[in-house]
Amino acid sequence: MADFETIIYEKQNDVGYVTLNRPQNLNAYNIQMRDELYQVLGAIKDDPEVRVAILKGAGERAFCAGADLSEFLTAPSPVIARQVRWERDVWGLFLSIDKPLIAALHGYVLGSGLEMALCCDIRVASEDVQFGVPEMGLGIIPAAGGSQTLPRVIGRGHALEMLLSGRWVKAEEAYRLKLVNRVVPREELLPTVEKLANKIKACSPIALSYAKQAITQGLDLSLEQGIELEARLGDCLVSQPS
């Protein structure tokens, strides 16, 4: 795969590692990162050698401090800047991947950084993590699915409070809100996530894909429809050649 400027993509032992790599700008999400992430996510989706992927941020200070504000300043308005940024449906692609995605979160996880983390299936954070949704302060609303994914993860009231007040949430509260599955010391973040990825990748890829579909798609269905979905996927699994 091509060398990227804003992302490092590596494959090791069936695990895809995606590192947001603009540490000097706290891994802020710019147009180039959008284009590169789009390619990398496509590769993860289609490559049978990748069974699970880990998303992380380079540097000591941030997973991602949100959209690149310097691009806001070069466009006629923040809204237009954002429109350009979202021309590629990175978020649709993220959510269409039927392999488990794990976010390893440290430092600042703001705006689209948080939205990226919410597109992942499992979120593990280090003790220094800080989550925030600064969009309202800039006169915009989330545009990477955050207004839909955040309440689905932490519930309507907490999502509205984070969004409307702009209040940041630190590790302990994030765990309490179920925004993250686990909080670990900084030096244990990657080893913890890798251990989890190794455990997950030992399962049959097709079973992993169906389990993810059953849970993620089922959440948007009634219980009855969800149970039908589970039965249908279970039948497909049984009829797969072993």
Residues involved in catalysis: 115, 135
Among 36, 115, 128, 135, binds ligand COA (CB under 6 A): 135
Among 66, 100, 145, 146, binds ligand COA (CB under 6 A): 66
Picking from 82, 217, 62, 56, the residue whose alpha carbon sits closest to that of residue 152 is: 217
Question: Of 65 and 103, which CB lies nearer to ligand COA in the complex structure?
Answer: 65
Q: Supply the minimum distance, in Å, between the C-beta of residue 71 and ligand COA.
A: 8
Among 16, 57, 134, 146, binds ligand COA (CB under 6 A): 134
- Under DSSP, the state recorded for 129 is -
Pair type for strands 122-126 and 182-184: parallel
**Rounded to a whole number, what is the distance in angstroms from the first to the last CA of the chain?**
31
Q: What is the C-alpha separation between 188 and 105, in angstroms, rounded?
A: 12
Q: What is the C-alpha separation between 53 and 9, in angstroms, rounded?
A: 10
Question: Of 25 and 32, which CB lies nearer to ligand COA in the complex structure?
Answer: 25
Question: Of 5 and 228, which CB lies nearer to ligand COA in the complex structure?
Answer: 5
Q: What is the C-alpha separation between 147 and 156, in angstroms, rounded?
A: 10
Question: Of 143 and 180, which CB lies nearer to ligand COA in the complex structure?
Answer: 143
Is residue 28 involved in binding ligand COA (CB under 6 A)?
Answer: yes
Q: What is the C-alpha separation between 30 and 17, in angstroms, rounded?
A: 20
Q: Which residues make beta-bridge pairs with 126?
A: 184
Question: Of 24 and 204, which CB lies nearer to ligand COA in the complex structure?
Answer: 24
The site for ligand COA, by CB under 6 A, has a size of 15
Q: Are 106 and 180 in contact (CB under 8 A)?
A: no
Is residue 68 involved in binding ligand COA (CB under 6 A)?
Answer: yes
Task: Output the six-digit token pair for 77.
Answer: 């308005």
Q: Supply the minimum distance, in Å, between the C-beta of residue 59 and ligand COA.
A: 10
Among 13, 70, 165, 225, binds ligand COA (CB under 6 A): 70
Q: What is the C-alpha separation between 212 and 219, in angstroms, rounded?
A: 11
Is 15 buried (19+), middle (13-18) or exposed (0-12) by CB count in 10 A?
A: buried
Is residue 163 involved in binding ligand COA (CB under 6 A)?
Answer: no
Task: Output the six-digit token pair for 27.
Answer: 């891994």
Q: Supply the minimum distance, in Å, between the C-beta of residue 9 and ligand COA.
A: 22
Q: Restricting to residues 136-155, name those near ligand COA by CB under 6 A.
A: 138
Q: What is the C-alpha separation between 110 and 115, in angstroms, rounded?
A: 8
Q: Restricting to residues 100-119, name those near ligand COA by CB under 6 A.
A: 108, 110-111
Q: Applying CB under 6 A, which residues contact ligand COA?
A: 25-26, 28, 65-70, 108, 110-111, 134-135, 138
